[in-house]
Chain A
Amino acid sequence: MVPENFKESGFMYAIALAVVVFVIAQSVFFIVKSWKRAKELGIKKETLKNTAVSSAVFTVAPAISILATVIVLANALGIVLPWIRLTVIGNLAYETTAAQTALDFWGGSLKNAVTDPQQFSTIAWAMTVGSIAPLILLPFLCKKLQNKIGDVVNKSEKSKKLGDAISAAAFIGIISAFLAREINGNTVTSVEKTDALGNVVLNADGAVEKVKMITGSAGAISILTLISAMVFMVILTFICKRFKLDKLEPFTMPLAMFGAMGMAILLTNVLPESVSGFYWYDIGTIVG
């Protein structure tokens, strides 16, 4: 007998809470071990406290964004499965693709609520099996990779300047990928094909036909937000140094982030729509 509201039953909530407990337990375990080791290494208690508090503040806005993606998926899958999936490993792009790929088998869409238990169960399997690869790889790769990196760094320290430059370059390489995407990237999503009247087009097998469409793009606001964040960060860092505000220093990064998000609201409302709505790639264009 399948429970009527199987997607949001007490059992589903119990699974979600078990996952939450696991994630928090693992995090607390590693924090406690690292904190103890940090004390042995002579790292100041204040540095550790600042690390914890600034990381917590830094996390708030991105976490609310992740929460919003849970709500996006809730329409089709109920609130609990997306909650579970975005608490462990998941991210919106992956979970949406996995769920939609599973639904494609039946010609279904995430726009509609999934009501068939077998489809729901297949989606849960697809989301899980597709995403577990890192957990299988890490026990074999993590230690080896770190030892190799350690060797490279230690060798490079014979010429410390080169070691430092390469280390900084690797960090900058990561950040640059995100900057480049905000300057010139777009997001392509698989969507249902519709005819001129807006009706869904079916293929020869009777399944809904899919096309790839640009659903997001870098443009004026993303670049201005990026620049605002940099300017806020430079100003806040200058203020901290000029007035010796050591306690404020760990919070410059989250403050700059919130400031830039505020600027995004301001600019969207103040700039003419021809500027604020300017994107490099036309949203809604079919690309394949």
Chain B
Amino acid sequence: MQKNYFDKVHRWGIIWNIGALIMLLCIPVAISVHVNAWPEGAALLQVMPKLMALYWVTAVIEVITYVPMLGAGGTYLSFVTGNISNLKLPCGLTAMENAKVRANTEEGEVISTIAIGVSSIVTTVIIAVGVLVFSPILPKITGGAFKPAFDQVLPALFGALAAGYFAKHWKLIFAPVIAGVVVLFFSPSMGAGTLMFVTIVAAVLGAFVMYKKNWL
């Protein structure tokens, strides 16, 4: 029964995924027709290899890293709407934590998908309303007295998320955090998406060693 539901989710996901791909590719086509100007071939030949080397490789890492955490439905939704690491992933993780369900179970799958779906709708609506109604005053909100708060959204978000996990699994935190900080000494601008590879491996190895030594 469980396998059937996951199979269905993958089928729906692939259909929506292909729809999103077609829609996305139609956007620059429509813009080119609209402005009556197609991109300069030489410019694309120079620009695309740079961007593809950078972002297509990152995409492979992101897919491998995020898929096990987001669940099937959550993955198909997240990769269409974007902002995964700074919003969809923590949202899905928090929802599963609150509902006391595990990732990669059917319960985890439905809870994560509902959370990410709601988050996608709220984000889309906030951006749309913000652009249509608030864009003239928005810089005053995010750039004025509230600037320090909006500059610190990520530490606030991940600090709160971390506290819940760390309270339960405090022994597991040292290896990945130390590994991450040490790697950043050598490459301080490494993005979280790439750094994640290092910290996940450190965390899993640490857990394995502690299990073997009966420290857990």
How many residues of chain A are within 8 Å of chain B by beta carbon? 161
Our count of residue pairs bridging A and B at CB distance below 8 angstroms stands at: 560
* Cβ-defined contact, A11 with B163, below 8 A: no
Contacts of A70 in B (CB 8 A): 127, 130-131, 135
Question: Which single residue of chain A is at the shortest CB-CB distance from B56?
Answer: A133
- Known: A24-B124, A50-B98, A173-B202; 12 extra A-B contacts, CB below 8 A, are A31-B113, A63-B127, A65-B153, A134-B63, A137-B63, A169-B200, A170-B200, A180-B179, A182-B158, A232-B160, A234-B167, A260-B152
* Cβ-defined contact, B24 with A135, below 8 A: yes
Inter-chain CA distance A139–B21, complex, in Å, is 11
User: Closest 5 CB pairs between A and B?
Assistant: A180-B180, A229-B159, A173-B200, A173-B203, A176-B176
Contacts of A48 in B (CB 8 A): 111, 114
Tier of interface size on chain B = 35 or more
* Cβ-defined contact, A89 with B67, below 8 A: no
Shortest distance in angstroms between A286's beta carbon and chain B's nearest beta carbon?
A: 13
* 19 A-B pairs whose Cβ atoms sit less than 8 Å apart in the complex: A19-B23, A23-B81, A35-B114, A54-B94, A63-B87, A66-B126, A88-B20, A117-B37, A127-B28, A133-B59, A135-B24, A146-B6, A168-B207, A169-B176, A171-B93, A176-B202, A177-B198, A184-B184, A261-B149
* Cβ-defined contact, B79 with A125, below 8 A: no
Contacts of A90 in B (CB 8 A): 82-83
Among the listed A51, A214, A261, which residue makes an inter-chain contact with B153, where contact means beta carbons less than 8 Å apart? A261
Contacts of B188 in A (CB 8 A): 184-186, 280-281
Interface string of A5-20 (1 = CB under 8 A from B): 0100101100111111
Among the listed A50, A89, A167, A233, which residue makes an inter-chain contact with B81, where contact means beta carbons less than 8 Å apart? A89
Contact A130 B98, CB 8 Å, known A56-B118, A88-B80, A121-B28: no
Contact A166 B207, CB 8 Å, known A55-B114, A135-B17, A221-B152: yes
Contact A222 B130, CB 8 Å, known A171-B165, A175-B161: no
For residues 147 through 199 of chain B, which have their beta carbon under 8 Å from a beta carbon of chain A? 148-169, 172-173, 176-177, 179-181, 183-185, 188-192, 195-196, 198-199
Contacts of A105 in B (CB 8 A): 40, 42-43, 46-47
Inter-chain CA distance A174–B67, complex, in Å, is 12
Contacts of B200 in A (CB 8 A): 169-170, 173-174, 177
Inter-chain CA distance A287–B190, complex, in Å, is 14
* Cβ-defined contact, A129 with B20, below 8 A: no
Contacts of A18 in B (CB 8 A): 23
* Cβ-defined contact, B121 with A83, below 8 A: no
Contacts of B115 in A (CB 8 A): 51-52, 55
* Cβ-defined contact, A124 with B28, below 8 A: yes
Contacts of A66 in B (CB 8 A): 83, 87, 123, 126-127
| A109 contacts B by Cβ under 8 Å | no
Among the listed B35, B60, B83, which residue makes an inter-chain contact with A62, where contact means beta carbons less than 8 Å apart? B83
Shortest distance in angstroms between B8's beta carbon and chain A's nearest beta carbon?
A: 8
Among the listed B72, B124, B181, B211, which residue makes an inter-chain contact with A87, where contact means beta carbons less than 8 Å apart? B124
